[in-house]
Amino acid sequence: MILNIRKLCVGAKSVDDLAEWQAGRRAEMDRDHSLHVTRMWPRREAEIVGKASMYWVFKGFIQARQRIIGFEEIIGNDGIRRCGI
């Protein structure tokens, strides 16, 4: 069974806004793929990586999909461990 992740898109009003924001973050972080950082690490990581997608919810509707290629440990400036999807 494939487990997908749904995320509420806060701050972006449209898919174009999200794409523009992610492009800026990729350039800022010198990456070739997007990275979404969240507080929680998925417990069923093995069932998600390389198989699942993150579905972005805008104003109550799923309007965008991104493949999940992996998870990275991100340590914030506050020393707290976070998950980079």
Q: Which residue has the tokens 């800026």?
A: 24
Residue 71 pLDDT = 94
Query: What is the per-residue pLDDT across 24-79, written as a single tens digit (0 to 9) for each?
Result: 988 988 888 888 999 989 889 888 998 999 999 999 999 999 999 999 999 989 99
Residue 82 pLDDT = 94
Q: Which residue has the tokens 């449209």?
A: 14
